[in-house]
Amino acid sequence: MFRKRIAPQPESNERDTARLEAFSDGVFAIAITLLILEIDIPEFEEGHSLWRSLFDLWPSYFGYAVSFLVIGIMWVNHHNLFRIVRRVDHWVLVFNLLLLFCVAFIPLPTAVLAAHIDQPDEATAVVFYAATFVVTAIAFNLLWRYPTQHAPWLMEPDADPGVIASITRRYAFGPLIYLAAATIGWIFPTAGLIALALIALLYFIPTDFGAPASLDAG
Amino acid sequence: MFRKRIAPQPESNERDTARLEAFSDGVFAIAITLLILEIDIPEFEEGHSLWRSLFDLWPSYFGYAVSFLVIGIMWVNHHNLFRIVRRVDHWVLVFNLLLLFCVAFIPLPTAVLAAHIDQPDEATAVVFYAATFVVTAIAFNLLWRYPTQHAPWLMEPDADPGVIASITRRYAFGPLIYLAAATIGWIFPTAGLIALALIALLYFIPTDFGAPASLDAG
Amino acid sequence: MFRKRIAPQPESNERDTARLEAFSDGVFAIAITLLILEIDIPEFEEGHSLWRSLFDLWPSYFGYAVSFLVIGIMWVNHHNLFRIVRRVDHWVLVFNLLLLFCVAFIPLPTAVLAAHIDQPDEATAVVFYAATFVVTAIAFNLLWRYPTQHAPWLMEPDADPGVIASITRRYAFGPLIYLAAATIGWIFPTAGLIALALIALLYFIPTDFGAPASLDAG
Amino acid sequence: MFRKRIAPQPESNERDTARLEAFSDGVFAIAITLLILEIDIPEFEEGHSLWRSLFDLWPSYFGYAVSFLVIGIMWVNHHNLFRIVRRVDHWVLVFNLLLLFCVAFIPLPTAVLAAHIDQPDEATAVVFYAATFVVTAIAFNLLWRYPTQHAPWLMEPDADPGVIASITRRYAFGPLIYLAAATIGWIFPTAGLIALALIALLYFIPTDFGAPASLDAG
């Protein structure tokens, strides 16, 4: 299905990666910054202090924080991915566009979540939110697996196969973890939200076991 | 009409292309990411589940998806164009600005479409949407035809005339295809929408006949 | 008042210009793309076709078009300016930030204009709009005049003094032209709008007299 | 707690800094440009001239101006920081993401402030606004102190220890100054606002004592 479509042209393809990364950086940066626009400003209300109104926005802050971390982690991983994938072909462009499609979509489920935490339809909002991350994580896996498994000529020749295999295993957990959070959220919405927050925070703890190493710049 | 205005100055013009591309990348990335802001968040409604409200947003998802694909394809083509057009003069700047003018406009007809699918004025919204793509495709043709046919000193000297002629023929189809979709949509709105979605998806199938090769990075 | 604050450090300052330009490009690209968000989507209205509603948005299209052209021309001029100004010091940063402050502000008077064309307060809106361009053009003159007249060590050493003097004269017209448009608009709002549109379009005609050459990439 | 996680790899890490800066530039540029979207357009009101409506928006202009300056200064400082910090590791990524988290948040307290100046809850809005700057300044200190004090292998080897110590002392004032403004604003809201405006403007006066030198590009 995936035929080799480009001959090795070091210079021109180097440039390809650069512009693909620049465009993707733009989408990541805009998506992460637009999140704040989805939070409505509290206006003056009789018998309701502004502190109270600002406090009542906590579901919005929660959504802002979790989505910011998730998009930030995606950006770091995307960054690292293109240190190993050094050339761009048709399918890398397609899968990258699919990933950006999901990333640019995130502000919508974030706002839906913020509007429905502690409301009757909380479970639906949590599932919709977590499901977006499931699909985003699948898109990320496609972008990683296609060059590593079907188009090795796009890869950095010096990349260590052991490192690649370990990254593949780590990324494969992404969709499963978010699927688990969605399932938990479907039954216990609050527990699902805590799970989503923990998943995001876990990435920031540098350990030598499990997921975290993905933030290493090495 | 188009006089040669700049003498070949490899270094300084190389930089020109870089900053023109960076600015254009910015506009493409922002336009593609702003699309999501045009979708309104469903609030809680008595007797109407959130799933139902989220499902009822399908015209917005459809518009988001089609416009995202169209802008994404434009970006890829723009990217490829500036691998063949290597220098920038007055008219390249003007036609590029015209193209960006159209791209930045796309979120408006997208939102109009989403608000009117399955409504009395659906045909109007479909025609307005498709017409925007007709004009955008014309702008793209101007940006491509000016250097290839009137300012060869702006082109990559090693570019293959056969490849250029084949790209010219392919791009010429763009406005016609969208015009056909607008015409169909005027009479059968739903058929027009299906046509627009198919046009966008077709670009992602790599074949050796017809439009698709434009996504090749080679 | 302006002391020489940095010693010539070719490499590090080259990088300075690059990042200043990248940041400015971002602000220009975002401001130009945000313009579309200020246009409200017409909803279905009884006895009012969508064509009519879309047509009634013409003041918004007009504002979008003029502001897009003005920001686009600013970007081109900014781009050319930093081909002559090759180093960055404290005051270049300050005046550049002042220019970006004005550019990022433009979406507001654009939306005010669009909301008031053909309304009782049209003259006010036209003056507010044109006045924004007066201030923006003054900021542009500060950014150009400071290095050319007070900090020659920031300039490209090979820059032709005759070219610099001619650019200085040309830029000096900017605030005056917009001031004239504001004055006309104060008395005859429609004439002021036509003047603003003509000013923007004039820049795109390449002639050998007057303003136009500013779009030349040479 | 902070182990050395990457071995010196000049080339690959140079690229790291570049993409981190590009992404951060994107977030700074977007946050600074989104500020204008938080200002609502005045519509026509009976017996209320548009001049008056535009004048009544002064709290919004004030918020726009102060936040624009603060984000602009942050960008300049961020820019200078990465001329001294030349490599990126896990914790630089984390602290940088934390800083961007705060920067992207600024449009919200800016809009809250603009909506509440001269209203009953003004003090709350001023404290919320100033507190955001306190947290942002703390994030900036973390991003600076981690490499300078815990990860010297990330630093430019030629950086002058005296310069670093003086920058450290200067940055340490940031959170304190904003905390002072928050405290003043809690008791005298207007005085707090004036303090915030003065802090922002002070950075633009080049002196040889106190904070200002941080805008020097040298």
- The C-alpha atoms of residue B181 and residue C18 are separated, in whole angstroms, by 43
> Any chain D CB within 8 A of the CB of A41?
yes
Of C190, C208, C23, nearest in space to C113 by CA: C190
Chain B residues touching A19 at Cβ < 8 A: 21, 25, 79
Are the C-beta atoms of D113 and D125 separated by less than 8 Å? yes
pLDDT score of C7: 41
> Any chain D CB within 8 A of the CB of A54?
yes
Are the C-beta atoms of D30 and C26 separated by less than 8 Å? yes
| Interface chains of chain A (3 or more CB pairs under 8 Å) | B, D
Burial (CB < 10 A; 0-12, 13-18, 19+), residue D140, is: buried
Give the Å distances, CA to CA, from C199 to A198, C117, C170, C173.
56, 19, 13, 11
- Which residue type occupies B110? T
- Which residue type occupies B10? P
pLDDT score of D49: 85
SS3 of D164, please?
helix
Chain C residues touching B92 at Cβ < 8 A: 217
Phi-psi category of residue B205: left, alpha or beta, with phi > 0 → left and psi -120 to 50 → alpha: beta
> Any chain D CB within 8 A of the CB of A22?
yes
pLDDT score of A56: 86
Residues 6+ apart with CB under 8 A from C140: C74, C77, C78, C99, C171, C174
| C55-62: long-range contacts, CB 8 A cutoff, minimum separation 24 | C59/C113, C59/C114, C59/C115, C59/C116, C59/C117, C59/C118, C60/C114, C62/C114, C62/C117, C62/C193, C62/C197
Chain A residues touching D37 at Cβ < 8 A: 37
Q: Which two tokens stand for residue C3?
A: 């002391």
Helix, strand, coil distribution of chain A in percent, nearest 5: 75, 0, 20
What percent of chain B clears pLDDT 70, i.e. is strictly above it?
85
Residues 6+ apart with CB under 8 A from B95: B139, B142, B143, B146
> Any chain B CB within 8 A of the CB of A78?
no
pLDDT score of C156: 85
CB atoms C90 and D216 under 8 Å: yes
Per-residue HEC secondary structure of chain C comes to CCCCCCCCCHHHHHHHHHHHHHHHHHHHHHHHHHHHHHCCCCCCECCECHHHHHHHCHHHHHHHHHHHHHHHHHHHHHHHHHHHECCCCHHHHHHHHHHHHHHHHCHHHHHHHHHHCCCCCHHHHHHHHHHHHHHHHHHHHHHHHHHHHHCHHHECCCCCHHHHHHHHHHHHHHHHHHHHHHHHHHHCHHHHHHHHHHHHHHCCCCCCCCCHHHHCCC
Q: Which two tokens stand for residue D101?
A: 């988290």
Higher pLDDT pick, B7 / A191: A191
Chain D residues touching A79 at Cβ < 8 A: 16, 19, 23
Chain A residues touching D100 at Cβ < 8 A: 32, 72
Segment C55-66 shows an average pLDDT of 91
Q: Which two tokens stand for residue A120?
A: 């009757």
- Pick from C26, C37, C119: CB nearest D37: C37
Per-residue HEC secondary structure of C2-48 comes to CCCCCCCCHHHHHHHHHHHHHHHHHHHHHHHHHHHHHCCCCCCECCE
- Pick from D44, D51, D206: CB nearest C5: D206
Q: Is the pLDDT of residue B206 over 70?
A: no
Residues of chain D with pLDDT under 50: 1, 3-14, 208-218
The mean predicted confidence, pLDDT, of chain B is 84
CB atoms B108 and C51 under 8 Å: no
CB atoms B100 and C44 under 8 Å: no
Confidence of residue A215 (pLDDT cuts 50, 70, 90): very low
pLDDT score of A206: 64
Q: Which two tokens stand for residue A133?
A: 């991350």
Segment B191-218 shows an average pLDDT of 67
Residues B29-78 pLDDT 10s: 999 999 998 888 877 667 778 888 888 888 899 999 999 999 999 998 89
pLDDT score of B181: 95
pLDDT score of D83: 85
Count CA atoms within 13 Å of residue D84 on its CB side.
24
- The C-alpha atoms of residue D216 and residue D166 are separated, in whole angstroms, by 14
Q: What is the distance of C-alpha D56 from the center of its chain?
A: 27
- Pick from C22, C34, C206: CB nearest B5: C206
Give the Å distances, CA to CA, from D118 to A49, B117, D35, D121, D196.
15, 44, 20, 8, 16
User: String of b and e for C173-186 (b: at least 16 CB within 10 Å)?
Assistant: ebbebbbbbbebbe
Segment C25-34 shows an average pLDDT of 93
pLDDT score of D100: 96
CB atoms D30 and A30 under 8 Å: yes
CA distance C3 to chain B (A): 30
Q: Is the dihedral of CA B117, B119, B123, B124 positive or negative?
A: negative
SS3 of B155, please?
strand
Rg (C-alpha) for chain C, rounded Å, is 19
Of D104, D121, D103, nearest in space to D112 by CA: D121
> Any chain D CB within 8 A of the CB of C119?
yes
> Any chain B CB within 8 A of the CB of A117?
no
The enclosing H or E element of A180 equals helix A161-187
Give the Å distances, CA to CA, from D144 to A81, C12, D73, D81, D217.
27, 20, 15, 7, 17
CB atoms B37 and C37 under 8 Å: yes
Are the C-beta atoms of C113 and C154 separated by less than 8 Å? no
Domain boundaries, chain C: 10-215
Kindly report the CA angle at A70 between A67 and A72, in degrees rounded to 5?
Answer: 105
Q: Is the pLDDT of residue A12 over 70?
A: no
- Lowest-confidence segment of B138-147, B201-210, C91-100 by average pLDDT: B201-210
First to last CA, chain A: 33
Confidence of residue B6 (pLDDT cuts 50, 70, 90): very low
- The C-alpha atoms of residue A185 and residue A178 are separated, in whole angstroms, by 10
Of A108, A113, A105, nearest in space to A61 by CA: A113
Of B17, B57, B52, nearest in space to B39 by CA: B57
Residues A82-115 pLDDT 10s: 888 988 888 898 899 999 999 999 999 999 999 8
Are the C-beta atoms of D194 and D185 separated by less than 8 Å? no
DSSP readout, A18-62?
HHHHHHHHHHHHHHHHHGGGGSPPPPPBTTB-HHHHHHHTHHHHH
SS3 of D117, please?
coil
Residue of B nearest to C42 (CA): B112
Residues C132-176 pLDDT 10s: 999 999 999 999 999 999 888 888 888 888 888 988 998 899 899
pLDDT score of A208: 42
pLDDT score of A44: 64
Residues A128-183 pLDDT 10s: 999 999 999 999 999 999 999 988 888 888 888 888 898 899 889 989 999 999 99
Of B64, B59, B58, nearest in space to B106 by CA: B64
Q: What is the pTM of this model?
A: 0.88
Q: Which two tokens stand for residue D34?
A: 């989104």
> Any chain B CB within 8 A of the CB of C39?
yes
Chain C residues touching D38 at Cβ < 8 A: none
Q: Which of residues 58-77 of B touch C (CB under 8 A)?
A: none
Segment A6-21 shows an average pLDDT of 57
CA distance A142 to chain D (A): 23
* B45 phi and psi angles, rounded to 5 deg: -130, 135
Give the position of tokens 């004055």.
C183
